[in-house]
Structure 1
């Protein structure tokens, strides 16, 4: 029996779609990130019950942090983007979190930078608040250790290819790290939207793609570029096709990043059938109904889609490109300031 709903909601499902293709499905993946981080902060005495935790979020992490604070008796303050909709905001307020949203901006960089500036103002007035820094503090790796252990237990021995959105770097980076430390042969494939700076795609725009969650317009220090073996940049049309096909074939209703990961995993599987391929579904598809699933008739047959393979970021192009990470000229990713215990 779970002591709190957060412990139940965080538990993922492992769904075998084919003998060598598995979906790691979460209702809300970032609960692992938030619960693990808050628990570690309490255990190490960095914060105490009753303290206020603050962070910026486009939505999913806000809900995860609010539930983690509810679970451990903390206060929560969220600086949210305009993607925090009414349904989520009402939940956050009832859970006891305080929420403020920055002014709407069509420029994601300005949106993210304004949220960071607002947090700095809040901390200056409230020095006892603790900034969670989901994008930069590698304590957010800790909560995924148990997920990696389950993958190691339940997936037969042999080489794995793990496919998922890069985002803040904590989820895919942590799972690959823990699995490799357990001795598994893991190839890590990161999914990115066009326009994200994380792997150098900021010069290719995709106005339809919902970038928040799997990419970034600012640098995330939790992303360790060297962990990734291959990158797929997937546009809206391809991500939609992957998501619709996944729902049609398997009944799994998930977000756009899942559609992109599903598409990339199928391509990787065709390239190397000797590995078990696991792709991550980090959330459900409910918040994508109006902007994506309502256009399901536009979805293409994923088997008819293939990526443009590149070795130079100048050749990056929509709707789908891929490259081995070793072929890309990228800056060394800075290490987070905090130690991963």
Structure 2
């Protein structure tokens, strides 16, 4: 019997996922906070290569779980941390950041995510101009955030050996789904990747739509991110808030899994994909727990749609994209039309 490990730091315990088989063709890989892999991998690489040094202050922008992951990585490695926080960062996360010694700049309330992101950019640049000794982590753009997921890929390969694998997860910054899939394809080029997007995100061309209830942060983006590599994705699903909420509550009701909105959305997409391709194992990325969605999602459980009655419209062109749920073969194409337009500077 393998003894239970005693960890030297909480980050080692937090990054350890639970793998849960939800159905014959679907396995959930559930985390308390997935981005510990990105933050630890990035910080360790930057220290090892001499880009940063102990005692230095790392600064970045975040909508929530990356901020906490970076704060814990800094705590572990003797670094200081400054977070320019989205308006979506709640009091629970902010309190944890402050206790960990993080300096927090939080943006004022706004329903416009693009405005929120641009404000964060301006604040980061102001901080850098004032103190050139700060190191800007650039979680949305620096490929160093992909590195930590190689360790996760090794774990997945050991847990699910000799299986035809499809990874299903929210696109977000691109680092988790992209980093995990690239590492898995180093051993098996046939690993497929299905990305999940909200309507209103520029990342896969749905920015012409608005979804007033959508909690877009962490799933999509109002501004292009360099860490999203479109050529990694085989298929894309776009879901509105009502569908994502139904799936998240359904995951709790059917499997007792209390997880975030992106996990529910990914599970809904995975169920559809598993029915289309039952010979493969679909690995659903469960990036975080449901705590920060308690009021806006779980408290509304009585109004949730029945996930079993929902289905996407299969499209062949972004011209046909429309809410509430659409799916499309992306076929590892390198660029989305929205990416050809001018990029805004984003941290």
TM-score relative to the length of structure 2 = 0.93
The equivalences for 1:229-248 within 5 A come to 229-248=234-253
1:146 Cα deviation (Å)? 1.1
Corresponding residue for 1:214?
A: 219
Structure 1 vs Structure 2 CA RMSD: 1.5
1:156 Cα deviation (Å)? 3.2
CA contact (8 A) 1:26 1:281 kept: yes
1:300 Cα deviation (Å)? 2.0
Check 1:183–1:22 CA distance in 2 against 1; reply closer, same or farther (3 A cut): same
- For 2:168 and 2:97, the matched residues in 1 are separated by 30
CA contact (8 A) 2:239 2:324 kept: yes
The equivalences for 1:125-274 within 5 A come to 125-183=130-188, 185-274=190-279
The answer to whether 1:48 aligns with 2:36 is: no
CA contact (8 A) 1:158 1:184 kept: no
Corresponding residue for 1:330?
A: 336
CA contact (8 A) 1:311 1:327 kept: no
Stretches of structure 1 lacking an aligned partner (at least 5 in a row): 335-341
SS of residue in 1 equivalent to 2:167: strand
Corresponding residue for 2:301?
A: 296
- For 1:239 and 1:325, the matched residues in 2 are separated by 21
Structure 1's consecutive aligned runs of 4 or more residues displaced over 6 angstroms after TM superposition are: none
The equivalences for 1:16-35 within 5 A come to 16-35=21-40
SS of residue in 1 equivalent to 2:156: helix
The equivalences for 1:268-287 within 5 A come to 268-287=273-292
SS of residue in 1 equivalent to 2:282: strand
SS of residue in 1 equivalent to 2:47: helix
- For 1:327 and 1:71, the matched residues in 2 are separated by 37
Corresponding residue for 1:63?
A: 68
Corresponding residue for 2:103?
A: 98
More displaced stretch, 238-247 vs 22-31: 238-247
1:326 Cα deviation (Å)? 3.5
CA contact (8 A) 2:205 2:337 kept: no
CA contact (8 A) 1:255 1:285 kept: yes
1:189 Cα deviation (Å)? 0.1
1:278 Cα deviation (Å)? 0.7
Corresponding residue for 1:338?
A: none
The answer to whether 1:4 aligns with 2:9 is: yes
- For 1:256 and 1:46, the matched residues in 2 are separated by 35
Stretches of structure 2 lacking an aligned partner (at least 5 in a row): 1-5, 341-347
1:301 Cα deviation (Å)? 2.0
The answer to whether 1:77 aligns with 2:82 is: yes
Q: Deviations over 1:8-47 (max 9, x none)?
A: 1111111112232100100000111001100100000000
1:332 Cα deviation (Å)? 9.6
TM-score relative to the length of structure 1 = 0.95
Aligned positions, number: 334
The equivalences for 1:306-325 within 5 A come to 306-325=311-330
- For 1:315 and 1:37, the matched residues in 2 are separated by 39
- For 1:27 and 1:37, the matched residues in 2 are separated by 19
Check 1:332–1:291 CA distance in 2 against 1; reply closer, same or farther (3 A cut): closer
1:333 Cα deviation (Å)? 6.5
1:309 Cα deviation (Å)? 1.1
- For 1:84 and 1:305, the matched residues in 2 are separated by 30
